[in-house]
Amino acid sequence: MNAFKRKKNWYSSDRVMPKVLLGFSLISILTTFAIVFILLKESITFFSSVSVYDFFTGLKWEPLFAEPKFGVVPLILGTVMITFFSSIVALPVGLGSAIYLSEYAPDRVRTIVKPILEILAGIPTIVYGFFALTFVTPILQKIIPSTEVFNALSASIVVGIMIIPMISSLSEDAMMAVPRALRNGAYAVGSTKLEVAIKVVVPAALSGIIASFVLGLSRAVGETMIVALAAGLQPRISFNPLESIETLTAYIVQVSAGDIQYGSVEYLSIYAVGITLFAITLGMNLLANYISSKFREDYGG
Amino acid sequence: MIDIQSLDLFYGEFHALKNVSMFLPEKSITAFIGPSGCGKSTLLRTLNRMNDMIKTVKIKGTVTIHGNNIYEPEVNVELLRKRVGMVFQQPNPFPKSIYDNVAYGPRIHGTKKKSELDDIVEKSLRDAALWDEVKGDLKKSAYGLSGGQQQRLCIARALAVNPEVLLMDEPTSALDPISTLKIEELIQQLKEKYTIVIVTHNMQQAGRVSDQTAFFLNGEMVEFSETDTIFSNPVDQRTEDYVTGRFG
C-alpha cells in the first residue's frame, strides 16, 4: 500500500475544477462563434436579394423607401467621419496626458489623476450621448449658428473624450515600460526633460502607443449610443461635420428599435451592416496586435 | 580641474557622503573604489548632478569645475552634462540605429547639418574604438551589437557632445573579460583628451587603468593618492585591508 496513493474520488478538486473552468472559458468562445455564425447566416440571406457589389459601392442608403436602396457607403463614411474627428480630439490629448503622467507627474498627482481617468472610462456611453446632445451641441451652435441639432462634430468630440482614457492609459503603460536607464543615457548628454520624453521615451514606446491609437479608434468605430443620440440618423454623403449623418452602428439601433417587419430585407440589412462593422473593428484589433508584437522593443542590454 | 570641497550628501536622513574633499587634475584617470554602498557611485553622480533626479537628496559643500561651482542655482544642468559626460554600468543604447545613437546628443544641442553630423559620428566612433567594426552598419539597430560593442557605442554617444570630463560608473561590470580589456585600453587612450573618473568594483582594474585612486568606506573618503601608493603602500589600515581582499 503506497502511503502517497491518490484517492480516487471523482470529485477530487484537481480533476473536476479544470473541466469546470474550461467550460467557463468555452462560453465566451462559443458566444463569439455564435455571433459570427448568425451574422454570416443572416447576411447571406440579405445578399441573396441585394448584390454584394451594390451593397459596398452604392451611394444611397434608403432602406425604407418604396424602392429601397442599400448602398452602405454613406454609413461607412459617417463612421469614418466620427472616427476621424474623434481621433483629432483623442490622439493628442491622450498622448499628451500619457506623457505628462509617465514623465512629469509626481507620484501624488499620478495616484489622483489615474483613478479619475478610469472613472471617465466607466461612464455609460448613453450618458456621454446626452452630454453631447444637451451640452456640447448648444455650445457648438453658439459658436457656429449653422450647426444642426444632430451633427457629427458634437458626437465626434464626445466620442473622442470617451476614448482618451484608453489611449492615455495604454500609452502610459508603454512609456512606463521604457527602462530608466534609457532616460539616464539621454539626461547624461544634456537632454532636457522634454527632449527625453519626445526623442527617447515616445520613440521607444512607439509600438505600444500606436497600438493604443488603433484600439482607441476601433472603439470609436464601434461606438453606438453617442452617435445614435447626437449625430443623427441621416445617411448621407457629407463632409460637413456640422450636418447630421448616420453611422453603421446608429443604423442598427434605428432598425432594432423601430417596427420593421421581422425577416424583411430591411430587417436583414442590419446583419450586413453588422458584419461590415465587425470586419472593420476586427481588422483594426488585429492591426493593433500586429503592430505591438512586430515592433516590440526588447530594450536590449 | 574638478575641485570637491567639504561635500556632504544626504538621502533623506541617510548621510551618504561625509565631508569629502578632493582635487582631480585635468586629463588624468581617477578611480573610486570601495565596497557596495560606500558612496563611490553617489559621488560620481554629484559631478554631473545626476542625483538631482532623486527628490530626497540634499547636498552641502561645493563642486567646482574650472572654478565654476556647479551647484549654484543659476547653473544650467543640461549644459553641465554636455561638458561632463557619463557612461553607465549597463550598456544603455537607445532603440535606434547606431548612427542615431551617436548623433542624438549633437542633434539636441542644435547640430542639424548632415555633413557635420556625419563627421561627429565618425570621429566619436573612432575615438570609442568602434568605427572599424560598425562603419558599414551605421543604419542598423544598436541592439544588434554585442554587450561590449554597445558599451563602446555608449562611450561614443557620450563623446559626441564633446565633453571635457567622462564619468564611468562600473563600465565593465556587465561585460566579459575580452570586452572589458578593450574598454580598459580605450580608457587609457581617452585620457589624452578627457579627464576621466571611473567607479569600479574591480581592484585590478583600478590598478591597471587609473593614475590616482580614492578609497571610500561608509560615505567617507578614507584615502586618496597615487594608484601605486594605494595598492602597494597605503597609509590607512582599512585601505590595506580592502585592497588586499580582507573584506569587501
Give the start-to-end residue ranges of the domains of chain B: 2-90+164-243
**Band of pLDDT at residue A257, cut at 50, 70 and 90:** confident
Cβ neighbours of B197 in A, within 8 Å: none
Question: What are the phi and psi torsion angles at A59 (to 5°)?
Answer: -100, 0
- pLDDT, residue B195, reads 95
- pLDDT, residue B244, reads 87
What's the mean pLDDT when you consider all of chain A?
90
The CATH number that applies at residue A133 is 1.10.3720.10
Residue in chain B closest to A207 (alpha carbons) equals B95
Least-confidence region, from A92-96, A254-258, B81-85, B189-193: A254-258
Collect contacts of B241-247 with beta carbons under 8 A, ≥24 apart. Answer: B242/B33, B242/B34, B242/B35, B242/B215, B242/B217, B243/B33, B243/B203, B243/B215, B245/B203, B247/B35
Same domain flag for A166 and A44: no
Same domain flag for A38 and A163: no
Cβ–Cβ below 8 Å for B50 and A189? no
Helices (H), chain A: 13-49, 52-57, 73-99, 107-122, 125-131, 137-143, 152-176, 180-188, 193-195, 202-204, 206-222, 225-230, 248-257, 265-294
Domain membership of residue A254 as a residue range = 72-295
- pLDDT, residue B55, reads 85
| B247: its cell numbers | 573584506
- pLDDT, residue A300, reads 44
Question: Per the domain annotation, does A62 fall within a domain?
Answer: no
Same domain flag for A10 and A147: no
- pLDDT, residue A299, reads 55
A293: number of Cβ within 10 Å: 10
Three-state DSSP class for B12?
Answer: coil
For the CA atoms of chain A, what is the radius of gyration? 24
Cβ neighbours of B173 in A, within 8 Å: none
Q: Quick one: average pLDDT of A25-44?
A: 94
Question: Per the domain annotation, does A67 fall within a domain?
Answer: no
Residue-wise pLDDT tens digits, A167-225: 999 999 999 999 999 999 999 999 999 999 999 999 999 989 999 999 999 999 999 99
Q: Quick one: average pLDDT of B125-135?
A: 93
Cβ–Cβ below 8 Å for B93 and A191? no
Residue-wise pLDDT tens digits, A63-83: 888 888 899 999 999 999 999
Cβ neighbours of A107 in B, within 8 Å: none
Question: Per the domain annotation, does A300 fall within a domain?
Answer: no
Residue in chain A closest to B162 (alpha carbons) equals A189
Q: A107 — contact with chain B (CB < 8 Å)? A: no
Question: Per the domain annotation, does A59 fall within a domain?
Answer: no
pTM over 0.90: no
Residue-wise pLDDT tens digits, B211-233: 999 999 999 999 999 999 999 99
Buried b (16+ CB within 10 A) or exposed e, A17-50: eeeeeeeeeeeeeeeeeeeeeebeebbeebbeeb
- pLDDT, residue A298, reads 54
Say if CB B190 and CB B166 are below 8 A apart. Answer: yes
Q: Is the pLDDT of residue A10 over 60?
A: yes
- pLDDT, residue A74, reads 94
Angle at A181 between CA A180 and CA A187, to 5 degrees: 90
Please report the ipTM that was assigned to this predicted complex: 0.92
Three-state DSSP class for B80?
Answer: helix
Q: Among A33, A48, A63, identify where a domain stops.
A: A48
Q: Report CA A15 to chain centroid distance, whole Å.
A: 40
Residue B64 class from Cβ within 10 Å (0-12 exposed, 13-18 middle, 19+ buried)?
Answer: middle
Question: Per the domain annotation, does A54 fall within a domain?
Answer: no
Q: Quick one: average pLDDT of B230-239?
A: 92
Residue-wise pLDDT tens digits, A97-149: 999 999 999 989 989 988 888 888 889 999 999 999 999 999 999 999 999 99
Residue in chain B closest to A203 (alpha carbons) equals B95
B166: which strand partners? B85, B196
- pLDDT, residue A301, reads 38
- pLDDT, residue A87, reads 96
- Using CB atoms, pick whichever of A199, A204, A301 lies closest to residue B108: A199
Same domain flag for A161 and A128: yes
**Band of pLDDT at residue A16, cut at 50, 70 and 90:** confident
Same domain flag for A281 and A155: yes
DSSP calls for A140-187: HHHHSTT--SS-HHHHHHHHHHHHHHHHHHHHHHHHHTS-HHHHHHHH
Residue in chain A closest to B160 (alpha carbons) equals A189
Same domain flag for A30 and A90: no
Q: Is the pLDDT of residue A293 over 50?
A: yes
Say if CB B23 and CB B4 are below 8 A apart. Answer: yes
Cβ neighbours of B105 in A, within 8 Å: 189-190
- Using CB atoms, pick whichever of A182, A188, A297 lies closest to residue B81: A188
Of B94, B98, B84, which is closest to residue B194 (Cα–Cα)?
Answer: B84
- pLDDT, residue B125, reads 95
Q: To which residue does cell 468630440 refer?
A: A157
- pLDDT, residue A8, reads 67
Q: Is the pLDDT of residue A295 over 90?
A: no
Q: A179 — contact with chain B (CB < 8 Å)? A: yes
Q: How many domains, in total, are found in chain A?
A: 2
Q: To which residue does cell 554600468 refer?
A: B89
Please report, for residues B89, B99, B165, the alpha-carbon distance to residue B122 in angstroms, rounded to integers and kept in the order given.
24, 9, 20
Please report, for residues A58, A259, A270, A278, the alpha-carbon distance to residue A267 in angstroms, rounded to integers and kept in the order given.
18, 9, 6, 18
Residue-wise pLDDT tens digits, B150-173: 999 999 999 999 999 999 999 999
Please report, for residues B104, B114, B143, B159, B226, the alpha-carbon distance to residue B140 in angstroms, rounded to integers and kept in the order given.
15, 18, 8, 20, 43
Cβ–Cβ below 8 Å for A301 and B92? yes
- pLDDT, residue A297, reads 56
Same domain flag for A171 and A283: yes
- pLDDT, residue A170, reads 93
Same domain flag for A21 and A168: no
- pLDDT, residue A296, reads 61
Strands B84-87 and B68-69: unpaired
Please report, for residues A298, B130, B143, the alpha-carbon distance to residue B134 in angstroms, rounded to integers and kept in the order given.
21, 6, 12
Q: Which fold has domain B2-90+164-243?
A: Rossmann fold (3.40.50)
Separation of alpha carbons A149 and A152, rounded Å: 10
3-state helix, strand, coil in chain B (%, to 5): 40, 25, 35
Please report, for residues A80, A125, A162, A225, A238, the alpha-carbon distance to residue A132 in angstroms, rounded to integers and kept in the order given.
18, 10, 11, 11, 20
Q: Is the pLDDT of residue B75 over 60?
A: yes
- pLDDT, residue B211, reads 95
Q: Quick one: average pLDDT of A48-72?
A: 90
A222: number of Cβ within 10 Å: 17
